Amino acid sequence: MASVKWRSVATVVLVVLLAVGTVSAGGLALVSFLVSRFTAPPPRPTFPNDTPVAATKPAPSPAVAASKPRATATPTPTATPTPDLAPGQYRASVTEEIGLQLRDRPARDSERIGGVAYEESVVVLEESPDGRWQRVRQESTGEEGWVSGGNLEKIP
């Protein structure tokens, strides 16, 4: 009779251990799944102004490449001569990374008439008497205006 009693106690203990083990394994699996789910980086957002990456084209087969006519030599472009600058004028490049605002007169409250991009070339025409403003001409557009001084680097 004692062996039957111990057998039933052992069965109960074994069932409890199996139940605890099963619940623990399920809990660990759930925690592992949730941790991996919430720590994964989100997908990269796309914006309308993103430029798509151009797909690479496969190399043409030798048969196709052989049938194409050979290109003729193209003439090398010649540099257009730049006009001479008046005394006191010089070429400069914008050093302010966000660019500069082009204004109609040398004052902060003056009207904004355009802009000059970072590293764009300009011709400095004159400086204000206090040196805080410079009148420039954009070489690309010919537009003239005043920019805040100290944001240009002279081009040698």
Any idea what the CATH number is for the domain that residue 123 is in?
A: 2.30.30.40
Across the range 125-151, mean pLDDT stands at: 92
Taking every pair of C-alpha atoms in the chain, what is the biggest distance, in angstroms?
121
Please state the rounded mean pLDDT for residues 71-92: 67
Mean pLDDT of 61-70: 55
Q: Which domain holds residue 132?
A: 90-154
pLDDT class of 21 with cuts at 50, 70, 90: very high
User: What number is the average pLDDT over the span 10-39?
Assistant: 93
Q: What is the mean pLDDT of the chain?
A: 82
| Contact status, residue 134 vs residue 144, Cβ threshold 8 Å | no
133 in any annotated domain: yes
**Domain contains 56:** no
**140 Cβ neighbours under 8 A, 6+ residues apart:** 120, 121
Q: In the chain, which ranges are E strands? A: 90-94, 100-103, 112-116, 121-127, 133-138, 144-148, 152-154
Q: CB of 121 within 8 A of CB of 92?
A: yes
Is 19 a domain residue?
yes
Residue 137 lies in a domain: yes
- What pLDDT was estimated at residue 80? 45
Look at residue 55 and tell me if it is in a domain: no
Q: Is residue 52 part of a domain?
A: no
* Contact by Cβ (8 Å): 101, 115: yes
- Confidence (pLDDT) at 12: 93
Pair type for strands 133-138 and 112-116? unpaired
Count of domains forming the chain: 2
pLDDT value of position 1: 56
Flag whether 131 is in a domain.
yes
What burial letters (b/e) apply to 94-126, b meaning 16+ CB within 10 Å?
A: bebeeebbbbeebeeeeeeeebbeeebebbbbe
Residue 57 lies in a domain: no
